[in-house]
Amino acid sequence: MSTETVSTRPFPDQKPGTAGLRKKVVVFQQPGYLENFLQSIVDAAGNYRGATLVAGGDGRYFNDQAIQTLARIAAGNGVERLIIGRSGLLSTPAASHLIRTRRAAGGLLLTASHNPGGPDGDFGIKVNTASGGQASESMMEAVYRHTRSISRYLTAAVGPVDLDRTGESRYGPLTVEIVDPVAEYAALMERLFDFGGIRSLFAGGFTARYDAMHAVTGPYASEILHRRLGLPADWILNAVPLPDFGGGHPDPNPVDAADLMSVMTGDDPPRFGAASDGDGDRNMILGPGMVVSPGDSLAVMTAMATEIPGYRKGLAGVARSMPTSRAVDRVAAALDIPCYETPTGWRFFCNLLDDGRIDLCGEESFGTSSSHVREKDGLWAVLFWLNLIAVTGKSVPEIIQAHWRRFGRNAFSREDYFIADAGIGDDLLARLEASVSTMIGTRCDGRPIRQADVFEYEDPVDGSVSGHQGVRVVFEDDSRIVFRLSGTGTAGATLRIYLERRIEDGPLLCRPAVELNAPLSQAARSIASVGDLTGLSSPTATV
Ligand code: G1P
Ligand code: ZN
C-alpha cells in the first residue's frame, strides 16, 4: 500500500486550549482540517513511526468519521498498531489506562468533553503522551506552530476500519486492534475498591441513581455498577451513548444533569446520586437533596483515603488547581503531606503524579482522580464514594458534615459570564492584571484586601513556568475571589469568577454556598467592573 503526500494550506485557528483543540463540528468537517491537525501532532509532538497508538472518543457526532481519517493518517505516517475502543468509544480515563498498560507511544482522544454534540455542536481532539497524560503546554504550542506553516500531510488509503468487531486486523502496513473499551478499566477498578463491600451495600437495599447523560460512561456504568456491583439497570439514567447526547449538554453539574437533580430533590430521594460527563472524566456526587462541592469531595477523599483498599498505605501528597477551594489544604496540613497548587487544566497534575509527589488531585470543575491513571476519572470518584459509604455506614450528608465539623468549611461557588465579544473578555482580564499591585491594602465593599496577584506556576519537576493563570484576590478574613477566562469554549469569552468563604463553625456551617458568597459576588463585580465592561447584570450560570 502506498503512502500519498497531499499538499495542503494552513488553517489559522488550530490553537489548542485548556484540553486540546475544540471547534464546531462544521469547522472540523472542512476538507483537510482534521488531517492538518493530526499531521501537525505527528510532525511536532510525536515520532510515531513503528509505534503503537491508542485512539477512541466519547461517541459524539463525527467520532466515527474522524477515527477513519485518523487511521489513514496513522498509516501514512508509519504507525505500526492502532488500539481502538469498540465502536470508536473510549472514555478518557480508560484511554489513559490503556496507553499505560499497553506501553503505547501516546493516544489521540476524540472528544470535546462536556461541550454539546450533534452536527451543530462541538468536536475536539486531545493528545496524550506515553505516560497516559495530556501533552504539555509547550508540546501543544509546537503543534500549533506547525499548523501555521503546514504544507503537506501523509495519508494511506486504508480502511474503512471495521470498528465493531473486537480483535486484530491488518490494513496494509497498519495493524488495528479493536478492544472492549470497558474490560481493562473495570479490572483496574476492582483492584482499587472493595467491590464486595459495595455489592453488599446494594444487596442491603441502598438506593442510588447514576446519570450517564447519553455519553460514553453508559457502557462502563452498565458493566461495573450494574453487572459487577448489582445496581439495578434502570437506576442508570440515559445509559445509551448518542451522537448528540440526546440534545443535552453532557456536563455533570446541577443545571445540566436535570434528570438526576429532579430525582435527587424529589419526594423520597435515593440515598446516593452521581453523574459523569461526555468523555467520562468528570463526576458529580449527590446525597438526598444536596450536591457535594468538588473541593469538599477532594478534601473528604484525602481525609479518608486509607479506608479504601487501593490507598491503604496513605498518600504521598495531594494537589488542586488554583481556583479550587482550599478545603484540601487543611486536610493535607493535618496529615502533614504536601499540597500543590497548579494552574487550571489536568495536565499540570501529571508531572506531580509521574514524579510520585501526589496520589490524589482535583479541580473545582467536577474533576477528581488519583495516581491510577493520568486523567481525571468520573466513575472512579463514584466508586470511591460508594466504597466510603460502604465502610463507614454513613450517608453522604453525614460524611460531609462530619468533615466540616472537624476541618471547618470552605464554602465555594462559581459564576460564569458569557461575553459574546472575546475582545471584551481579554480587555477585562488585562485591566485586572494591571491593577493587582494597587489593590493590596485597599478595601472593597468595606473588606480589606490582604493579597492580590496574577497566578504564575513553576512546575517543581521540570521547572517550566506558566504565567497569566488567573487573578487572585484574598481578603483579611481569608475569603478569596479568583478571576480567569475559560480556555475550552469555541466562541466568545467566558469569564469565570470563583468565590470562596471560610466558615470555621457555628450556625452558618451548613448554609448554601451561593447564599454565603453573595457579598463576595458583589465585591467581584465591582473589582472587575463587570457591569460596566460587559453590560451583563448577572452571571450566565452559577455553579
Ligand atoms: C474547564 C475547567 C477546567 C478543566 C477543563 C477541561 O476549563 O474549568 O478545570 O480542566 O475545563 O475539562 P476552562 O473552560 O475553565 O478553561
Ligand atoms: Zn470531560
Pairing of strands 339-342, 318-321: parallel
Q: Is 46 a residue whose pLDDT tops 80?
A: no
Cα end-to-end span (Å), the chain = 53
Q: Is 540 a residue whose pLDDT tops 80?
A: yes
Q: Find the mean pLDDT for residues 270-299.
A: 96
Pairing of strands 208-211, 272-276: parallel
C-alpha cell at 357: 509527589
CA 267 to chain centre: 32
Q: Find the mean pLDDT for residues 264-275.
A: 95
Distance 377 CA to ligand 2 centre (A): 9
Identify the residues whose C-beta falls under 6 Å from ligand 1: 18-19, 113, 321, 344-346, 363, 365, 367, 486-488, 496
Q: Note the pLDDT of residue 444.
A: 81
Residue that wins the pLDDT comparison between 316 and 47: 316
Q: Is 513 a residue whose pLDDT tops 80?
A: yes
Closest-approaching ligand to the CA atom of 251: 2
509521574: which residue's cell?
354
Query: CA 285, 288, 291 angle in degrees (round to 5)?
Result: 35
Strand ordering across the sheet containing 480-485: 443-444, 447-454, 471-475, 480-485, 493-503, 409-419, 541-542
Closest residue CA from atom 1 of ligand 1: 488
CA nearest 126: which of 180, 70, 50?
Answer: 70
Q: Note the pLDDT of residue 270.
A: 97
pLDDT band at 97 (very low <50, low <70, confident <90, very high): very high
Q: Is 53 a residue whose pLDDT tops 80?
A: yes
Q: Is 59 a residue whose pLDDT tops 70?
A: yes
Residue that wins the pLDDT comparison between 490 and 120: 120
- Greatest Cα pair distance, the chain, in angstroms, is 73
Q: Is 135 a residue whose pLDDT tops 70?
A: yes
Q: Which run of H or of E encompasses 431?
A: helix 422-439
Distance 345 CA to ligand 1 centre (A): 6
CATH superfamily of 185-407: Alpha-D-Glucose-1,6-Bisphosphate, subunit A, domain 3 (3.40.120.10)
3-state secondary structure of 436: helix
Query: What single string gives the DSSP state of each residue in 352-386?
Result: HHHTTS-SEEEETTTEEEETTSSS--HHHHHHHHH
pLDDT, tens only, 490-500: 789 999 999 99
Ligand 1 atom at minimal distance to the Cα of residue 281: 12
pLDDT, tens only, 294-314: 999 999 999 999 999 999 999
Catalytic (active site) residue 435: no
Q: Is 418 a residue whose pLDDT tops 80?
A: yes
Catalytic residue among 87, 113, 370, 479: 113
Q: What is the percent of the chain where pLDDT is above 70? A: 100
pLDDT band at 214 (very low <50, low <70, confident <90, very high): very high
Closest residue CA from atom 5 of ligand 1: 345
Ligand 1 atom at minimal distance to the Cα of residue 113: 12
Q: Note the pLDDT of residue 47.
A: 78
Respond yes or no on whether the N-terminal peptide bond of residue 254 is cis (omega within 30° of 0).
Answer: no
3-state secondary structure of 507: coil
Q: Which run of H or of E encompasses 185?
A: helix 183-192
Q: Note the pLDDT of residue 138.
A: 87
Q: Find the mean pLDDT for residues 279-289.
A: 95
Q: Note the pLDDT of residue 1.
A: 64
Q: Note the pLDDT of residue 8.
A: 96
Average pLDDT, the chain: 95
| Residue 405 to residue 342: CA distance in whole angstroms | 27
What Cα–Cα distance (Å) separates residue 520 from each residue in 444, 479, 515? Answer: 10, 8, 10
Query: What single string gives the DSSP state of each residue in 31-62?
Result: TTHHHHHHHHHHHHT---TT-EEEEEE---TT
Q: What is the percent of the chain where pLDDT is above 90? A: 90
pLDDT, tens only, 517-531: 999 999 999 999 999
Ligand 1 atom at minimal distance to the Cα of residue 282: 12
Residue that wins the pLDDT comparison between 17 and 341: 341
| Residue 173 to residue 211: CA distance in whole angstroms | 41
Distance 90 CA to ligand 2 centre (A): 12
The residue extents of the domains of the chain are 3-181, 185-407, 409-542
Report the half-sphere exposure of 50 (CA within 13 A, side-chain side): 0
Is 409-542 in the same CATH topology as 185-407? no
Distance 250 CA to ligand 2 centre (A): 9
pLDDT band at 224 (very low <50, low <70, confident <90, very high): very high
Lowest mean pLDDT among 187-191, 276-280, 295-299: 276-280
Q: Find the mean pLDDT for residues 162-184.
A: 95
Closest residue CA from atom 10 of ligand 1: 345
Q: Is 503 a residue whose pLDDT tops 90?
A: yes
Q: Find the mean pLDDT for residues 367-377.
A: 97
What b/e readout covers 210-230, taking b as 16+ CB neighbours within 10 angstroms? bbbbbbbbbbbbbbbbbeebe
Distance 26 CA to ligand 2 centre (A): 21
Q: Note the pLDDT of residue 489.
A: 75
Query: CA 366, 512, 266 angle in degrees (round to 5)?
Result: 80
According to CATH, what is the number of the domain 3-181?
3.40.120.10
Ligand 1 atom at minimal distance to the Cα of residue 364: 9
Beta strands in 79-156 (DSSP E): 81-89, 106-110, 122-129, 152-156
Q: Is 146 a residue whose pLDDT tops 80?
A: yes
Closest-approaching ligand to the CA atom of 278: 2
Q: How many helices (H) and strands (E) does the chain have?
A: 18, 27
Residues 6 or more apart whose Cβ sits within 8 Å of residue 512? none
Q: Which amino acid is at 533?
A: L
CATH superfamily of 409-542: Alpha-D-phosphohexomutase, C-terminal domain (3.30.310.50)
Report the half-sphere exposure of 351 (CA within 13 A, side-chain side): 17
pLDDT band at 136 (very low <50, low <70, confident <90, very high): confident
